[in-house]
């Protein structure tokens, strides 16, 4: 398999764009190697500029639930383009998509559209602070909520503590209101409430997908809800990734825990840049221009993005059972790989939620970021590059989740498992 054209393109890009990429995880840094430059996608496949074809388990990091170039999404976008790219004035498509989103989630009466998951979360936090009149927020180590200042915080230690920024350029003053807790550890959350009487919200990925796939324990989420209720704190479910992926009706439908605010992104735009946040009417009424909490966007709700989102979500609405089908396929994939790995003495932890799947090369179950970070990164890197050279495109970091699209067939799953068996044999033989 030649990747000469990608190598050249990457070299050129590095001279023009920092690191040659417009989002760091694309750079293949944690697995070695170079990023492949993609020329096109079709269904389950992506093709790079050297002409190599891959079964795509990344799906643009989540958005492409129906695979590449889904016919109805493509047609909807082309039709919308013919009427104008953007007006900066309301269109009926916004209400149509809003109606659809609201119909999926019990906890959402009203929704606001933005252009990315980062923006959705950043705005939801502001809304929670405005609504409660409080400043502090609690986030969990290993959960990713986009790259806004207050959320770019990781743990110094496992215990709840006031956060340190995890990037230069983020003043400590901007993160001193961000308290950290450990995922699936309720005591660490109680410590936050002992440290602060000023907690506006807890934000969590109820099905974490940014430390690999690590779903929260149901009981833990119920306890979070109870702590929030006891303290007048809002609970935000960041479902930018898990929304429409783990289930059709949100984590609430899987766990029975009701959030106050939900943030969405990825699938909601069908491949176009769309984010959203929604809540019950009383909370959303605080948002500008109805209320005093300011939030805005030149291209927010733009007609092309709305058309793509509408096509994707309508399709899901009409065929909600598809998530169960994808879960079965994903389960088959990770169970097959796990079996192949164990035949070569390699331990694998696996999990699925709807069309999300995850695996760690680890001997013990992964419950939090520390467990994920303790898994075998060297085996992962080797697995990644050997699968890639056989035509299977997995996320280039062990802290990511895999995605099944409706374009991926059972036969492709079988091929992937067979390839993984070869790969594990090679890894075991050093
Ligand atoms: C991807 C992601 C974000 C950020 O979304 P962008 O569109 O990349 O800004 C936020 N939260 C979660 C849970 C995500 O997976």
Number of compact structural domains in the chain:
2
- Protein residue whose Cα sits closest to atom 5 of ligand 1: 117
- Considering the domain architecture, whether residues 88 and 187 belong to the same structural domain is answered as yes
Secondary structure of the chain in the HEC alphabet?
CCCHHHHHHHHHHHHHCHHHCCCHHHHCHHHCCCCCCEEEEEECEEEECCCCEEEECCHHHCCCCCCECCHHHHHHHHHHHCCCCCCCCCCHHHHHHHHHHHHHCCCCCEEEEECCHHHHHHHHHHHHHHHHCCCEEEEECCCCCCCCHHHCEECCCCCCEECEECCCCCCHHHHCCEEEECCCCHHHHHHHHHHCCCEEEEEECCEECCCCCEECCHHHHHHHHHHHHHHCCEEEEECCCCECCCECCCHHHHHCCCCCEEEECHHHHECECCEEEEECHHHHCCECCCCCECCCCCCCCCHHHHHHHHHHHHHHHHCCCHHHHHHHHHHHHHHHHHHHHHCCCCCCEEEEECCEEEEECCCCCCCCHHHHHCCCHHHHHHHHHHHHHCCEECCCCCCCCEECCCCCCHHHHHHHHHHHHHHHHHHHCC
Neighbours of 88 (CB within 10 A): 10
pLDDT at 167: 79
CATH of the domain at 91: 3.40.640.10
Boundary of a domain, candidates 284, 318, 352: 318
pLDDT at 155: 37
- Considering the domain architecture, whether residues 77 and 46 belong to the same structural domain is answered as no
Spacing, Cα 144 to ligand 1 middle (Å): 7
- Print pLDDT tens along the chain (430 aa): 899 999 999 999 999 999 999 998 899 888 888 999 999 999 999 999 999 999 999 999 999 999 999 999 999 999 999 999 999 999 999 999 999 999 999 999 999 999 999 999 999 999 999 999 999 999 999 999 998 988 887 633 332 345 566 678 888 888 899 999 999 999 999 999 999 999 999 999 999 999 999 999 999 999 999 999 999 999 999 999 999 999 999 999 999 999 999 999 999 999 999 999 999 999 999 999 999 999 999 999 999 999 999 999 999 999 999 999 999 999 999 999 999 999 999 999 999 999 999 999 999 999 999 999 999 999 999 999 999 999 999 999 999 999 999 999 999 999 999 999 999 999 999 8
Total-model pTM: 0.96
- Considering the domain architecture, whether residues 127 and 146 belong to the same structural domain is answered as yes
pLDDT at 238: 98
pLDDT at 164: 62
Any ligand 1 atom below 6 A from CB of 116 = yes
Any ligand 1 atom below 6 A from CB of 327 = no
pLDDT at 163: 57
Angstrom distance (rounded) from CA 205 to CA 221: 10
- Protein residue whose Cα sits closest to atom 6 of ligand 1: 117
Q: Which of 265, 274, 353, 397 to mutate to test the pocket of ligand 1 (most atoms within 8 A of CB)?
A: 265
CATH of the domain at 29: 3.90.1150.10
Task: Find the domain containing 399 and state its range.
Answer: 4-69+321-428
């Amino acid at each position: 398999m030649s990747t000469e054209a990608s190598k050249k393109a990457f070299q050129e890009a590095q001279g023009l764009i920092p690191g040659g990429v417009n989002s760091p995880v694309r750079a293949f840094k944690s697995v070695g190697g170079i990023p492949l430059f993609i020329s096109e996608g079709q269904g389950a496949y992506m093709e790079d500029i050297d002409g190599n074809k891959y079964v795509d388990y990344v799906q643009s990091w989540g958005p492409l639930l129906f695979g590449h170039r889904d016919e109805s999404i493509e047609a909807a976008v082309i039709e919308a383009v013919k009427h104008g790219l953007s007006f900066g004035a309301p269109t009926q498509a916004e209400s149509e998509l809003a109606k659809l989103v609201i119909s999926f989630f019990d906890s959402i009466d009203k929704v606001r559209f933005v252009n990315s998951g980062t923006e959705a979360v950043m705005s939801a936090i502001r809304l929670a602070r405005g609504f409660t009149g409080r400043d502090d927020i609690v986030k969990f180590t290993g959960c990713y909520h986009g790259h806004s200042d207050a959320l770019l915080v990781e743990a110094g230690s496992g215990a709840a503590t006031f956060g340190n920024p995890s990037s230069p350029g983020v003043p400590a003053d901007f993160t001193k209101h961000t308290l950290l807790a450990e995922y699936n550890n309720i005591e660490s959350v109680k410590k936050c409430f002992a440290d602060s009487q000023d907690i506006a919200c807890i934000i969590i990925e109820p099905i974490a997908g940014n430390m690999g796939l690590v779903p929260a324990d149901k009981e833990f989420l119920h306890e979070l809800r109870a702590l929030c209720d006891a303290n007048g704190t809002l609970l935000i479910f960041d479902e930018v990734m898990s929304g429409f992926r783990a289930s059709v009706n949100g984590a609430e439908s899987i766990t029975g825990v009701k959030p106050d605010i939900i943030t969405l992104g990825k699938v909601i735009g069908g491949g176009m840049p769309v984010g959203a946040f929604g809540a019950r009417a009383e909370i959303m009424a605080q948002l500008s221009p109805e209320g005093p909490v300011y939030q805005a966007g030149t291209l927010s709700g733009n007609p092309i993005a709305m058309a793509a989102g509408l096509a994707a979500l309508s399709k899901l609405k009409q065929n909600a059972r598809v998530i169960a089908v994808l879960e079965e396929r994903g389960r088959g994939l990770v169970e097959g790989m796990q079996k192949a790995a164990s035949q070569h003495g390699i331990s694998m932890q696996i999990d699925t939620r709807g069309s999300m799947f995850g695996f760690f090369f680890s001997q013990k179950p992964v419950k939090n970021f520390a467990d994920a970070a303790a898994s075998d990164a060297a085996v992962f890197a080797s697995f990644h590059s050997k699968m890639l050279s056989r035509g299977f495109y997995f996320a280039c970091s062990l802290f990511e989740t895999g995605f099944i699209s409706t374009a991926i067939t059972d036969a492709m799953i079988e091929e992937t498992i067979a390839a993984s068996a070869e790969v594990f044999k090679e890894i075991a033989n050093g």
